[in-house]
Every structure is written in C-alpha cells, then in structure tokens.
C-alpha cells in the first residue's frame, strides 16, 4: 500500500493520535484471513485497493471539522485516500473485534467485517475523530463475505448520516462517498438472483466507533482483564469529564451510556426514524446512531412498521418497539459488565435510569411537537389519543406535525383544517367517526394550550423546531440511487443541501416535502430493504 509524502487540501495537517491501537491489545497475527481473534480488541489490516476511485459525495461541514478544505481542491488525491488506496503517514488501519446479540440471540464474534478504521484524528480544537472506511475490503471478521459495499447502500448511509446530524439526532457523520470503479455481486433480496452492482466506499466519522458488542465479546470469553482495559480506555478518551476510572466512575459511566441511549431513541421517535437492525453490535457506546443499513423513515404513522425484510415476520425492530429494544440491549451490556462490578444494583439502577430518561424525554419531546412547553405526566392521555388517531388511518407523520403549527385551535369548525387533511394518504379511509374524533382532540389540544398560556408565535416556533419539514424520505433516497447508478450523481448533492436545513421553509423545494407518491408504496428501496449491501 503506497504512502504519500506530498499532500494538500489539509491532508498534510491531519494529526493522528491512535490511542485505540496504542493502548489496547491487538491481534498478534498479521495475516488477513477469516478467523476467531482471541485476547485482542482489534486486528491491523489494510484496505483493499480499488481500480478507479472517484468522489461523488462530500460533506463540507465534516471536512471543516477535521481540518480539511471544505471542498476538495484535488479530488483525485482525496478519492485515493478515502477509498483506501492511499495510506497517509500516521494512519494505523485496523478492524475492531466485537460480538453481539442479533435479533435477540447471541451470535458470538462478529467484528468489523467490512469496516476499516484508518486512524484517530485530533483536530485544531483538540477533538478526536476516528476515520472509518465502510466497504474497503475483507478483514479477519468478514466471515464468508467480501468486505465490500455497493453504491445503493453507500448512498443511503452517506445521506442519512448527515441528514440525522442536521435534524439534531445524535449520529456518526459521513465525510465522503467514493465510487470504486468496480462491480460487486449482491443478491439484493436473498432470492437466488445475484447481480453485479457498482461498488462504493463511505468514510464515516465519529469520536469513537466502540459498540456494546466490544464489551460483550470480551465478557463472553472470560477475558476480564482486557474488558477492564477497554472500559478504562473508553472512560479516559470518550468520557473524560467523568474522571479517572474507578468503581464510582464506572457506575457514573454506565448511567451516562444509558442516558445517552435514551436521548438518541427519543430523537429517533421524534423524527420518525426506524433503525431497522438494533442488534447490540449496532449500538454505539456514545449513544450515537450507527450503522445505517435497512433503515427507513416513518411516512404514514404505523408503530408496527419495520423497514427490514429480515425482520418482516417478527417485527422486533419495528418503530414502536425501539425504546424497549434499546433497554434490552442496555441490559445485555450491563450483563457483560457484571464481572467488573462488585454488585449488580448499580447496573440495574442504570437500566432504571434509562427508563426514566426516556419517559421524561419523550414526554418533553411530544410536548414540544405540540407546542406545549411545560408538558407533564397529566398530558399523557392527550398524547396517546393523538398517536392513536394518527395510526387509525394512513397519515403522514412528518406533514401532520409540521402543518399542525398552522392550525389555530380557536377556529376549529366542523371538519378538520385542510392543512391537516394534506397528510392523509387515503382520504377515503377518513370516516365521520374519525373526523369527529380528530376534531374532539383538536379542541382538547386548544384547551391545553390556553391553560399553558403559550402565545401563538411562541407555540409555532416551538413546534417548528421539533417538527422537521424535510426528512430523507425513502423514495427520495431511492431516486438518488437510481440516478447515480445510471451515471448521474447530482441528486446526492441536491438532497444533501436540502437536508442541511430540515426545519426551514425552502419554497423552491416544496416537492421534497410532499407525501410519498403512490408508485413508491411497494417499490423496492422505497418500502422495505434487506441487509444486502
């Protein structure tokens, strides 16, 4: 793998401080072959070179965060680096070892099967960010797979990472999307019809990519000494405000992980995001959204909807079950940490803290979505009734909440306001009973607003900060994929620009805020997706 000495565009100023590989035990074997890796947190491995890398997606905000030029002045050089063709001085590429529960069952060793961490960059503000290539070739953890990624899933990951950030949802970021110039064989629907698709690599960026599963695999193998070292490393580098590791700090750390996870899930529920694969190996220790696979956006409000074809029968990871699954995953993390605690009560207290944090956060969030700044437990019947109304007929969640800010509850008549009926996918489903139920709720909502004393302008402002106008609707992502696959990546940049300002009125982009078109109801990529990428 070549190492470049003449660099530009900010690459020459990247300061690498690779604490993970410096401070934690690594795999002594250097051969890149699939195997069980014992008594190690990682394996060093180089990306697989590709034939013709070219940048088709770039985030100026993430580039600036890292100290790079906002826009690449030498796209060819950047494509070489962020496809993995060029290893910079100071990089120490590696793949993590971790395990996890997949769909509720322990799966043993999993690990970074198609992700390679290039190194840890410390920016001008002293912030640490890991650069990780997804789709850069096989690692010892690839099992029977090739470690590559295809364009369709890479576009979805690149766009959604940045969209979630601008929505205010805790998330990993994405710097670049590189087309490799090669073809990758995938059976998209696991139906025995594999096809060749364009290959791609996403450069993901996060303070840490440590997952619940990193701790689980060490605990499951009885490697308690290494588990201790990983916890200490995580506290020192990712939670330094908690102080030096020790019994009390360990407790505070676990409680903070629980709180951060609750905050993340509250935000998912606020914007209608469905992760799709909430396995414990896909849960960030930082409470950031990680691993954008078969995710989806709730268009018509349906708590039972899952975007994952693999989950279609059990619906374990459906929208409405995400809070419960997150708590179950935290319980598994707590179980993995038991060997380090003298008692289990602090771990149980952390789980209880998650439940309390989620309930309080969700109540406050629903209040903000409805313009109620002082929401209390007494508002639960009002909230529950609205969610039941939304689920009763096909109602676009994003449009309904956004348009509700335009409704004056003092002028409610005998039919729901037209601005709300714009959210209905099937107007014929709206019965007289449903209209009356909606009107009754609107009147109750109006009475609650009057009791709270929130003025009209302040109410609308609150609601428009909690309710986005633009989200990465599933069919929009698929349209960008279709165009890019045909050789036109322009819609990637268009959507990225749109989603930088999801709460703003963008009059020239109104079509992007419209309901899902009927042709997209069951179209592959627009309704459900597989884990194939």
DSSP calls for 10-60: TGGG--B--HHHHHS-B-S----------S-SEEE-PPPP-SS-EEEEE-H
User: Residue 202 and residue 135: Cα distance in Å, rounded?
Assistant: 7
Residue 314 dihedral angles phi and psi, to the nearest 5°: -85, -25
Taking the model in full, what pTM does it have? Answer: 0.96
Q: What number is the average pLDDT over the span 483-488?
A: 97
Note whether 301 and 446 are same-domain residues.
Answer: no
* Burial class for 154, CB neighbours closer than 10 Å (0-12, 13-18, 19+): buried
User: Residue 516 and residue 526: Cα distance in Å, rounded?
Assistant: 9
Q: Rg of the chain's alpha carbons, rounded to an integer? A: 24
Note whether 47 and 128 are same-domain residues.
Answer: yes
pLDDT at 1 over 70: no
- Joined together, the tokens standing for residue 80 give 């070489």
**Looking at residue 379, what DSSP letter applies?**
G
**Residue that is last in its domain, among 208, 241, 275:** 208
Note whether 197 and 229 are same-domain residues.
Answer: no
pLDDT at 179 over 80: yes
How many other CB atoms are found less than 10 A from the CB of residue 348? 12
Contact 29, 99 (CB under 8 A): no
Pairing of β 54-58 and β 99-102: unpaired
Residues identified as active-site: 281
Is residue 341 a part of any domain in this protein? yes
User: Residue 302 and residue 220: Cα distance in Å, rounded?
Assistant: 37
| pLDDT tier for residue 473 given thresholds of 50, 70 and 90 | very high
Note whether 250 and 183 are same-domain residues.
Answer: no
- Cα–chain center distance at 77: 29
Q: 485, 466, 36, 498: which is closest to 271 by C-alpha?
A: 466
User: Residue 318 and residue 510: Cα distance in Å, rounded?
Assistant: 29
**What pLDDT is stored for residue 532 in this prediction?**
62
Note whether 263 and 165 are same-domain residues.
Answer: no
Is residue 486 a part of any domain in this protein? no
Contact 23, 128 (CB under 8 A): no
Note whether 34 and 163 are same-domain residues.
Answer: yes
Note whether 194 and 103 are same-domain residues.
Answer: yes
Full residue range of the structural domain in which residue 240 is found = 213-367
**138-76-204 Cα angle (round to 5):** 45
Note whether 85 and 229 are same-domain residues.
Answer: no
**Residue that is last in its domain, among 208, 237, 268:** 208
* Average pLDDT across the chain, whole number: 95
The model's pLDDT over 93-130, given as tens digits with 9 standing for 90+, comes to 999 999 999 999 999 999 999 999 999 999 999 999 99
Pairing of β 173-186 and β 195-206: antiparallel
**What pLDDT is stored for residue 364 in this prediction?**
97
Q: What number is the average pLDDT over the span 133-147?
A: 97
**What pLDDT is stored for residue 97 in this prediction?**
98
Pairing of β 115-122 and β 173-186: unpaired
First to last CA, the chain: 25
Give the chain's domain count.
3
The model's pLDDT over 261-296, given as tens digits with 9 standing for 90+, comes to 999 999 999 999 999 999 999 999 999 999 999 999
User: Residue 286 and residue 136: Cα distance in Å, rounded?
Assistant: 24
* Burial class for 342, CB neighbours closer than 10 Å (0-12, 13-18, 19+): exposed
**Residue that is last in its domain, among 175, 208, 241:** 208
Note whether 20 and 161 are same-domain residues.
Answer: yes
Q: What number is the average pLDDT over the span 310-319?
A: 95
Dump strand ranges (E) for 335-388: none
Is residue 27 a part of any domain in this protein? yes
Is residue 87 a part of any domain in this protein? yes
> What is the helix (H) or strand (E) element at residue 363, kind and residue range?
helix 345-369
Note whether 22 and 60 are same-domain residues.
Answer: yes
- Joined together, the tokens standing for residue 127 give 């912030």
Note whether 355 and 372 are same-domain residues.
Answer: no
- Cα→Cα distances 214→24, 208, 382, Å: 12, 12, 41
Note whether 321 and 333 are same-domain residues.
Answer: yes
**What pLDDT is stored for residue 533 in this prediction?**
54
**What pLDDT is stored for residue 494 in this prediction?**
98
Is residue 495 a part of any domain in this protein? no
Is residue 487 a part of any domain in this protein? no
Is residue 53 a part of any domain in this protein? yes
Is residue 494 a part of any domain in this protein? no
**Looking at residue 509, what DSSP letter applies?**
G
Report helix, strand or coil for 303. Answer: coil
């Amino acid at each position: 793998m070549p190492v470049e000495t003449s660099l530009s565009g900010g690459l020459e100023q990247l300061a690498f401080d690779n604490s993970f590989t410096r401070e934690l035990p690594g795999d002594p074997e250097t051969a890149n072959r699939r195997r069980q890796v014992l008594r190690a947190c990682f394996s060093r491995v180089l990306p697989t070179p590709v034939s013709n890398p070219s940048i088709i997606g770039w985030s100026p905000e993430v580039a600036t965060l890292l100290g790079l030029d906002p826009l690449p002045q030498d796209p060819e050089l950047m494509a070489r680096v962020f496809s993995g063709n060029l290893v910079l001085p100071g990089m120490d590429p590696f793949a993590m070892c971790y395990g996890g529960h997949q769909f509720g069952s322990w799966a043993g060793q999993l690990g970074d099967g198609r992700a390679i961490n290039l190194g840890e960059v410390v920016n001008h503000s002293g912030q640490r960010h890991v650069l990780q290539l997804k789709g850069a070739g096989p690692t010892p953890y690839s099992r029977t797979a090739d470690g590559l990624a295809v364009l369709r899933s890479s576009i979805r990951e690149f766009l959604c990472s940045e969209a979630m950030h601008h929505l205010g949802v805790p998330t990993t970021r994405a710097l670049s999307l590189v087309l490799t110039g090669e073809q990758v064989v995938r059976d998209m629907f696991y139906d025995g019809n594999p096809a060749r698709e364009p290959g791609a690599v996403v450069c993901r960026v996060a303070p840490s990519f440590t997952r619940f599963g990193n701790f689980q695999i060490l605990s499951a193998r009885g490697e308690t000494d290494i588990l201790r070292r990983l916890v200490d490393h995580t506290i020192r580098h990712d939670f330094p405000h908690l102080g030096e590791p020790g019994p009390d700090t360990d407790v505070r750390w676990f409680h903070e992980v629980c709180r951060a996870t609750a905050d993340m899930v509250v935000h998912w529920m606020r914007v209608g995001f469905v992760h799709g694969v909430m396995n414990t190996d896909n849960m960030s220790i930082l409470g950031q959204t990680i691993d954008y696979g078969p995710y989806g956006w709730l268009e018509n409000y349906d708590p039972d909807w899952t975007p994952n074809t693999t989950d279609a029968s059990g619906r374990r990871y459906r929208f409405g079950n995400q809070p419960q699954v997150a708590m179950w995953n935290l319980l598994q993390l707590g179980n993995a940490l038991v060997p380090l605690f003298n008692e289990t009560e602090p771990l149980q207290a952390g789980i209880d803290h998650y439940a309390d944090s989620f309930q309080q956060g969700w109540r406050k969030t629903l209040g903000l979505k409805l313009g109620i700044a002082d929401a209390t437990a007494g508002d639960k019947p009002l909230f529950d009734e609205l969610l039941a109304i939304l689920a009763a007929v096909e109602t676009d969640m994003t449009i309904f909440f956004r348009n509700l800010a335009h409704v004056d509850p003092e002028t409610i008549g005998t039919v729901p306001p037209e601005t709300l009926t714009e959210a209905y996918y099937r107007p014929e489903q709206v019965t007289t009973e449903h209209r009356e139920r909606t009107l009754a709720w609107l009147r109750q909502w109006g009475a609650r607003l009057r009791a709270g004393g929130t003025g009209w302008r302040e109410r609308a402002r609150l609601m428009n900060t909690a309710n986005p106008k633009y989200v990465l609707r599933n069919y929009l992502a698929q349209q960008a994929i279709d165009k890019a696959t045909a050789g036109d990546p322009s819609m990637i940049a268009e959507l990225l620009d749109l989603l930088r300002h999801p709460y703003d009125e963008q009059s020239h982009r109104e079509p992007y805020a419209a309901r899902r078109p009927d042709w997209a109801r069951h179209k592959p990529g627009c309704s459900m997706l597989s884990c194939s990428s």
